[in-house]
């Protein structure tokens, strides 16, 4: 079984280039993740509204259900990315 090299990971996370990059683009990355998350939530509510107005039309109901599932999967991925980014920032800048 291969063990990760913790010293290498520590050197990467504390290197001046990596820290400067994150320090410079932290606000941009945070705003981009927030906009993406809000957009997915808006699309989720639009698809829920489509489902409620389908009135027994099976094709519209299927389209709205697929849209809801896609939005939920995307929300899960973005949530995971947000969590990893927050943990990375906490480790690097000691914000936690």
DSSP codes of every residue in 29-96: HHHHHHHHHHHHHHHHHHHHHHHHT-TT-HHHHHHHHHHHHHHHHHHHHHHHHHHHHHHHHHHHH---
Q: At what angle do helices 16-52 and 58-93 cross, to 10 degrees?
A: 160
Tens digit of each residue's pLDDT (9 = 90 or more) over 4-43: 666 777 777 778 887 788 788 888 989 999 999 999 999 9
41-74 pLDDT, tens digit per residue, is: 999 999 999 999 998 899 999 999 999 999 999 9
Report the pLDDT value the prediction gives residue 69, as an integer from 0 to 100. Answer: 97
Residue 89 has pLDDT above 90, yes or no: no
Q: For residue 18, report the phi and psi dihedrals to the nearest 5 degrees.
A: -65, -45
Sign of the C-alpha dihedral, residues 5, 6, 11, 12?
positive
Gap between the Cα atoms of 8 and 21, Å rounded: 18
Give the tokens for residue 40.
């997915």
């Amino acid at each position: 079984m291969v063990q990760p090299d913790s010293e290498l990971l520590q050197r990467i996370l504390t290197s001046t280039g990596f820290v400067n990059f994150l320090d410079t683009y932290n606000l941009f990355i945070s705003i981009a993740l927030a906009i993406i998350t809000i957009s997915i939530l808006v699309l989720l509510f639009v698809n829920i509204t489509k489902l409620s107005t389908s009135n027994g039309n099976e094709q519209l109901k299927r389209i709205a259900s697929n849209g809801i599932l896609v939005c939920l999967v995307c929300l899960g991925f973005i949530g995971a990315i947000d969590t990893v980014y927050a943990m990375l920032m906490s480790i690097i800048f000691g914000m936690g």
